[in-house]
Structure 1
Amino acid sequence: MLKLSVVIITYNEERNIGRCIDSVQAVADEVVILDSHSQDRTTAIASEKGAVVYEQPFAGYTEQKNAALDLATHPLVLSLDADEAIDERLVASITEVKNNAIADGYTMNRCTSYCGRFIRHGSWYPDRKLRLFDKRKARWTGEKIHEKVEIAGTTGHLKGDILHYSYDRLDEHVSQNNKFSTLSAEAYFAKGKKSSWTKMLLNPFWAFFQGYILRAGFLDGFLGLVIAANVAHLTFMKYYKLYALQKRIPV
């Protein structure tokens, strides 16, 4: 049987880290935490649950996650965020991989909890992620935001979900939209991408239509509408801030 390292980067995650570690206990041969000098009980909780804890200043999401990979003892790695957990079906699927791996990496769906309810339609589900892989053939790539794993090898797909515990309240979502739109606009600007009035008007509309209508976000009821509206808002803010950078307008 292959041994598995679960790697997690953290910063002030005392609310989430215990749940995350508990969810992987049945499959993890080690849990590695790379913490960015948290000011709360994150590292204490992780240590109490048997994780190996390292610390270094935050270097960016891509760099931090690759540093965490390098700390893993075993080649087979499951990379999670602190606000994630794995469900029982995914535990069973990962156990099968440990017994008989037939690919170099595996994707799985991510299901997000929003204001206390899991969302199973729209632009948020299935949110397929490559998170289980042979670290000798994979690295995290990306800039300030939207980091992803790139693998030089074969991939398969596992049954079961990563459970993502995101926003408990709308104001948390709005605040994160503001942060992510700034990071996205800065990344686009650095690449030489351009915004325009057309993109500011049409792209948010398309984001809403795609998530709420084409991908059946309406089936999630009122929260499906709220999510679609916030995805449109994020899209507008991203292209507005990019336009502001182009025109040297204060944001």
Structure 2
Amino acid sequence: MGSSNSIRFSAIVITYNEEKKIGNCLDSLVNVADEIIVVDSYSTDRTIEICKSKGAKVISQQFLGYANQKNFGIQEAKFDYIISLDADEVLSPELINSIKYISPTSFLSAYEVNRLTNYCGRWIKHGGWYPDPKIRIWKKGNAKWVGDGVHETLELADNTKIVKLKGDLLHFTTDTISQHIDQIQKFTTLAANELHRQGKKVSIAKILFNSWFKFTRDYVFRLGFLDGFYGFVVAFNSAFATYLKYLKLYNLNKSDEKKS
């Protein structure tokens, strides 16, 4: 386990019932990480068993929200350099090689990678889904996760330098269209609740326009049609997610009006 250079990396992954994907994630990390920490939200499947079999340190922690859960894992890290992956992400061979060539003298504040998503067995390279740059490697103390219960973003310290690494981060997002629909239902509810908490308002016209604009931008102007059938599905479902998010917000606002 570990990288071939003198930098020692702690890899952080958060999980909940990820038995189908966590194995491949950890197998790729073994090539570069000197420590793998899995923060698990009390999985009920074989996730913990698989993680331990791969040599990972598993910490059970009630879910704190995506940002706080990841920050909790970073606090537990033994080493100063962090690799942060989601359970459905895998380092490509080229990216593994790039990480191995990072040395203490060349290590800057943060490293960015391109994320390539696999949707129902097809790599999606258009429609705004690629290159999808993500910062996944940084020196401890130079960044922290922030965000609400739905989305988390990495907040960098002032004057942080960002360097692009060669090689893709492979993202195995969903295996079936029905699974994607289930994810959309879950996350649009969370997103609508967060917008409602912030006091956001929306009109029927905005719901319809934003949904139409999302599809047109991703499928036409961002060339989603070049990904064939699944390019259409991705663009349509993304527009549908926009529609649902704002429709649910609209219903929450209407409920408030009835109560007042």
Band of TM-score, shorter chain: over 0.9
Trace 1:63-142 onto structure 2 (pairs within 5 A).
63-98=68-103, 100-142=105-147
CA distance in 2, matches of 1:141, 1:68: 14
Residues 4, 98 of structure 1: 8 Å contact kept: no
Q: CA deviation at 1:123?
A: 2.0
Match of 2:3 in 1: none
Question: Residues of 2 paired with 1:220 and 1:105: CA distance?
Answer: 31
Structure 2 residue aligned with 1:230? 237
- The normalised TM-score by structure 1 is 0.96
Q: Which runs of 5+ in 1 are unaligned?
A: none
Q: Matched residues in 2 for 1:54 and 1:73: separation?
A: 14
Amino acid at match of 1:127: D
2:35 pairs with one of 11, 30, 34: 30
C-alpha distance 100-224 of structure 1, shift in aligned 2 (>3 A): farther
Question: Is residue 15 from structure 1 mapped to residue 20 from structure 2 by the alignment?
Answer: yes
- 2:162 equivalent among 155, 171, 178: 155
In 2, the alpha carbon distance for the partners of 1:98 and 1:26 equals: 16
Equivalent in the alignment of 1:172: 179
Distance 1:69 1:99 in 2: 20
Q: CA deviation at 1:65?
A: 0.7
Aligned residue number for residue 221 of structure 1: 228
Q: Which amino acid aligns with 1:131?
A: R
Q: Distance in 1 between matches of 2:198 and 2:164?
A: 32
The aligned length equals 250
Match of residue 195 from structure 1: 202
Match of 2:141, SS state, is: helix
Question: Cα offset for 1:170?
Answer: 0.7
> How far is the alpha carbon of 1:200 from its aligned partner?
0.5
Picking from 5, 8, 13, the partner of 2:10 is 5
Q: CA deviation at 1:83?
A: 1.0
Name stretches of at least 5 consecutive residues in structure 2 with no aligned partner: 1-5
